[in-house]
Amino acid sequence: MTKERFRRDRKRLAIGAAGILGVLAFAPAPVGAVTIATVPVAALSAGEPGDTNDGESPRVRGAEDGAPPGRPAADPSPLPAFPPFPSPTLPRPAPSPPAASTAPAPSPAPTATPTTSPAPAPAPGFGAYLHYSPRGITDMAAFSRWLGGREVTVGHTYLPGDVWQNIEGAPAWLADWAAWYKAEPGRTLVLNVPMLERTEARVPDAMVARELRSGAAGAYDGHFERLARRLVGLGVKDAVLVVGWEMNGTTYTHRCGPDPRAWRTYWARIARVMNGVEGAGFRFDFTPTRGRDATPWTECYPGDDVVDIVGMDSYDQPYGTDFDRQISEPYGLQAQVDFAAKHGKAISYPEWGLFKNGDNAEYMRRMIRWMDAHPPLYQTISDYCPHGVWQCRMNQRATAVYRQAFKAGGGLPAEDAGEKEQASMRDCRPVRLGGWLEERLGGRLCVRFNW
């Protein structure tokens, strides 16, 4: 670039102030141009102090923060409430029909019996993760009222992964979830189950590989047999179990990467041991994070004979990624749908919500449309900051979309000008300036180059 052109281009810069609740961004424009977008500050900065896990699942915090064991902390401030799709108990996927005979079939005799239409597919199970403890149960009633009385049919909680005793189902609040499940017909309990203790302790890969091989050899069968007996005894013999979730990342000790072969064998062994308990009929959900992450999740798939559901935890990340990319990326949303169809499995979204791109109403609208076009067996948004809507006041635009779409008698609202403005921020890259300066600027400098 010549000096003259550089001086000429530099004169074309236009700088404006975004205000205390805005962030600076380079948007599509002539070379070197600068524009302003008013994205809420909290949406960029909340929930990620010290976060170094970009592109993976949200940063994990302890259960003492109010987050599920193995998930990020919830916003401690009290908030409003909301509802779901009415749905029956989630069925196991139907087996594929046998291949038709090649011999010509005889013509059927005339009959006066009218043909019957096939039964409509059940509506997707609807819920939200609100809290792992009994508070999550009581909050469901308020959540339903917030959505105009729409019934929540899916309850979602997590077992702690600190010690084997808790993985075996020791927490007393598991009985409260079982009572909620049995109180009304048509409800579903979704339970995330760690595969190894110290599941958030950043255990080295070599040790993880040894633990996976021990599990594959049967060393931990007794723990999962005890969990299965406890669940059957509580009356939740058909719970959906999300075992070893987000295995394709690096967050958890139950990750797949250190030894995919041992991981697959171990996961399949857990499913067989648990469903081998008398009276058990659990549904097993294989749930990676969206995208490739550290390990392609297809390398971890344990087999059609033990998997009932192909799930996906899908948050709005990383920075600047639009929804089209979330669909088309390798091991993304389309890959999940195609893989599940190929293997004859249902799909699910045990965790989904906002994250790295703040109060993104466009993401919310597109994700809801995606689930309308590709109905999951169930879906539960992670409803705490920064991901949620009812318990997270910072996401006002996305909350309006969600509430209108899911409330009783509602529907997806029309796109507004604010969402179009957000769409212009795609591929914006944040510049870390430090907490003190970002607080005074009212947000994070976000740069988009359009050379």
Q: Is the model's pLDDT at 121 over the cut of 90?
A: no
d(CA 364, CA 140): 21
Mean pLDDT for the stretch of residues 294-314: 98
Q: Is the model's pLDDT at 143 over the cut of 50?
A: yes
Q: What is the pLDDT of residue 408?
A: 85
What's the whole-model pTM score? 0.72
Q: What is the pLDDT of residue 41?
A: 39
Q: What is the pLDDT of residue 312?
A: 98
Mean pLDDT for the stretch of residues 348-362: 97
Q: What is the pLDDT of residue 16?
A: 39
Q: What is the pLDDT of residue 37?
A: 43
Q: What is the pLDDT of residue 86?
A: 31
Q: What is the pLDDT of residue 68?
A: 65
Cα dihedral across residues 413, 418, 423, 428: positive or negative: negative
Angle 312-318-323 from CA coordinates, rounded to 5°: 65
Count of residues for the chain?
451
Map tokens 């009932």 to a residue: 308
Residue 168 — pLDDT band, cuts 50, 70, 90? very high
| Count of other CB atoms within 10 angstroms of residue 408 | 13
Q: Is the model's pLDDT at 118 over the cut of 90?
A: no
| Residue percentage of the chain with pLDDT more than 90 | 63
Read off the pLDDT of residues 9-66 as tens digits, 9 standing for 90 and up: 444 433 333 333 333 343 333 334 444 444 443 333 333 323 333 333 333 333 334 4
Tokens representing 301? 């798939």
E strand or H helix that includes residue 36: strand 35-37
Q: What is the pLDDT of residue 432?
A: 64
Q: Is the model's pLDDT at 180 over the cut of 70?
A: yes
Mean pLDDT score of the chain, rounded to an integer? 78
Mean pLDDT for the stretch of residues 117-124: 63
Q: What is the pLDDT of residue 419?
A: 52
